[in-house]
Structure 1
Amino acid sequence: MNYTLHQLYVFLKVTQNKSITKAAVELHLTQPAVSIQLKNFQDQFEFPLTEVIGRKLYVTDFGKEIAIAAEKVLNEVEAINYKTLAYKGELSGRLKISIVSTGKYVMPYFLSDFLRRNPGVDLVLDVTNKKQVLESLENNEVDFSLVSVLPDSIQIDKVELLPNELYMMVNAEQVFEKEIYKVSILEELAVIYREEGSGTRYIMEKFIENNNLNVPKKVELTGNEAVKQAVLAGLGCSIMPLIGVKNELNNGSLQIVPVKGLPIKSNWNLIWLKGKKFSPVATAYLDFIQNEKEIIIDASFKWIKDRNRGTGNKELKS
């Protein structure tokens, strides 16, 4: 056998994603390149590692065993690299963070300088919905999580980063002339919802429930970007985080409809399990956040501070 570390890595990503296409995206390779590496690796074994039934890829039992071994080998190689950097006096290791999907407009700004200063640190950033973020945190699979709705079922510590404000958004072509509308306007419009498990959906549903509104769920989409595109296309309105629509508000393609009780306010929080034993990398990152967060906020999020935020600032709990 003469397989390479690169082939092990490609094979592992294919088994984790159960898809050549998804593995190619994650690896920043073309789909044919991944297929070739997978075939070259698989040809070295007497038994099949994967099989395709219909259009779906399955990992065989033998393939699962090889994937476990591949992960162990790659982890050992990674450990060698980290030890080499540590011997040179550089901070090295892996920083694992899970964030809710809207957090992609926030988290990169709180990571870029840290990663630039510490090139020996590898970042694993999982962008998903609130339910899966909290599951990964509770299972101790990540160092930190970024959420806008704090859990009440997990004991955590936190650092508050910046405000999260949600407004009613519609596309710019619709006409709304009143200075402020009653919340009942939501019963008259097509409201676009995020998927189950989303923190934004939870906040919106609590607002609708607290105001005793009857708003049918006719449109439900996965991800903030999908909701934003639907609103831009005129499919309806949605209650959306301000952080994700800055450009659309600036270029005039979206507008905020003033509604009594809005914006809904919470805060973006970096959270971690209470009592967690941090790695040196995680400890260094927490120190970085605590020392640098105000500088980052002033540099990248001053536009939020400058807005008229309305009244009320009760932090939502799940």
Structure 2
Amino acid sequence: MHYTLHQLQIFLKIVENKSITKAAESLNLTQPAVSIQLKKLQDQFDIPLTEVIGRQLYITHFGNEIAITAQKVLDEVATITYKSKTFKGILSGKLTLSVVSTGKYVMPYFLSDFLNQNKGIDLVMDVTNKSKVVKSLVNNEIDFALVSILPDDIQLQSEILLENKLYLIGNHTAVSKINNDDLDVINEYPLIYREEGSATRLVMENYLYRNGLQSAKKMQLTSNEAVKQAVIAGIGYSIMPIIGLKNELERGDLKIIEMKGFPIKSNWYLVWLKNKSLSPVAEAYLSYIRDEKSKLKSAYFSWIDNY
């Protein structure tokens, strides 16, 4: 066997994307270059790693088994690199995070300086919905998660990073149509929801339930950006975290609709499993957050206090 680490890396991208074309795009390589490396790896096995049915690429059972082993090999190689840097006095290793989708407007600002100060750290950050973030926590797959609602069935430790405010949001023509003193108006206009499993959707549904409200028409979109664009276009209204609306509010594309019960307030929490043994990199990041979070909030998020 004479397979290379490069071939294993390429094969893992093919497995991840189920596509040679997408794997090539992800790796910034040409499609022929990826195909050649896959063939060289395949030539070392008598059993197929992949198969093409119709125009779709599939990974065989054997291919999936090889991918699991390949990932272990590459993880061990990464460990060698990290240990080498550690002996040189360089903080190195992997920092893994899972972030609820709206948290993408928060988390980068609490990472940038730390990563710039510690070039030996590799960041792996998954941006997804609350249900998948919680699953990653339960399975102990990550160092930290960013959530706006603390799960009540997991023992966690947490650090508050930032206040989270949610408002009823419409486009620039919507505000004039609403009587701000009449909550029943929400029954008359279409509300745009996030998908099941989203923390924002949970907040919206709790607000409606507490006030005995039910939207006459309900639409569901699967990302905060999609909801934002739909509201701007005038398709409906939504209850949204203000954290991702700064530019649109300043331009006047979106408007806050003053309504009883708003803003709905919570916090952005950095959380990790209670009694988890943090790696040196995770310990260093937690120390950085505790020392710098007030400064970072003032530098990047003071505008929230205006609303």
* TM tier relative to shorter chain: over 0.9
Q: Determine the structure 2 residue equivalent to 1:104.
A: 104
Counterpart in the other structure of 2:170: 170
Aligned pairs (5 A) from 1:126-205: 126-176=126-176, 180-205=180-205
Q: Residues 25 and 183 from structure 1, CA distance in 2 versus in 1: closer, same or farther, beyond 3 angstroms?
A: farther
TM-superposition CA deviations, 1:50-102 (whole Å, max 9, x none): 22334543210110121122112111110111011001011111001100000
Superimposed CA distance per residue, residues 88-129 of structure 1 (whole angstroms, 9 cap, x where no aligned partner): 011111001100000000000000011011111111101000
Give the whole-Å Cα distance in 2 for the aligned partners of 1:124 and 1:63: 24
1:232 aligned residue = 232
- Tell me the CA shift for residue 19 of structure 1: 4.0
Displacement of 1:171 in angstroms is 1.6
Q: Give, in whole Å, the separation in 2 of the partners of 1:257 and 1:31.
A: 50
Q: How far 1:173 moved relative to its partner?
A: 3.3
CA contact (8 A) 2:178 2:185 kept: no
Distance (Å, rounded) in 2 between the aligned partners of 1:297 and 1:198: 24
Aligned to 1:315: none
CA contact (8 A) 2:189 2:217 kept: no
SS at match of 1:183: coil
Deviates more, 1:31-40 or 1:254-263: 31-40
Offset, 1:21: 5.5
Which is further off, 60-69 or 285-294? 60-69
Partners of 1:10 and 1:23 within 8 A in 2:
yes
Structure 1 counterpart of 2:263: 263
Matched residue SS, 1:6: helix
Letter aligned with residue 170 of structure 1: G
TM-score normalised according to structure 2 size: 0.93
Q: 1:229 to 1:52 in 2, by over 3 A?
A: farther
User: Is 1:208–2:243 an aligned residue pair?
Assistant: no
Q: Match of 2:176, SS? A: coil
Task: Give the whole-Å Cα distance in 2 for the aligned partners of 1:127 and 1:24.
Answer: 22
Aligned to 2:243: 243
Identity percentage over the alignment?
60
CA apart distance, 1:13: 2.4
CA contact (8 A) 2:82 2:120 kept: yes
Structure 2 CA distance for partners of 1:25 and 1:253, relative to 1, 3 Å = farther
User: Does the CA-based 8 Å contact 2:85-2:91 persist in structure 1?
Assistant: yes
> In the comparison of the two structures, how many residue pairs are matched?
307
Q: Deviations over 1:225-278 (max 9, x none)?
A: 111111122211111110011111111111111111111111000001111110
2:6 maps to 6
Structure 2, unpaired ranges of 5+? none
Please give the alpha-carbon distance, in whole angstroms, between the structure 1 residues aligned to 2:229 and 2:27.
27
Moved more, 67-76 or 181-190: 181-190
Answer whether contact 1:183 1:261 (CA < 8 A) is retained. no
Deviation per CA, 1:12-40, whole angstroms, max 9, x where unpaired? 12223434455456545566654554344
* Counterpart-to-counterpart distance in 2, 1:260 and 1:32: 60
Gap runs ≥5 in structure 1: 309-318
Deviation string for 1:193-236 (max 9, x for gaps)? 10000000001010011111122563111111111111122211
Q: Could you give the per-residue CA deviations for residues 115-172 of structure 1, whole angstroms, max 9, x where no partner exists?
A: 0111111111010000000010111000100000111000111000111111111122
Amino acid at match of 2:273: L
Cα pair distance change 1:272/1:29, threshold 3 Å: farther
What amino acid is aligned across from residue 62 of structure 1 in structure 2? Answer: F
Letter in 1 for 2:218: K
Please give the secondary structure, in 2, of the residue aligned with 1:170.
strand
Distance 1:274 1:197 in 2: 23
Q: Which amino acid aligns with 2:94?
A: R
User: 1:123, 1:217 → 2: CA distance?
Assistant: 41
Deviates more, 1:49-58 or 1:171-180: 171-180
Query: What is the CA RMSD across the aligned residues, in angstroms?
Result: 2.0
Q: What code does the residue aligned with 2:272 have?
A: W
Q: 1:107 to 1:21 in 2, by over 3 A?
A: farther
Q: Does 1:290 align with 2:290?
A: yes
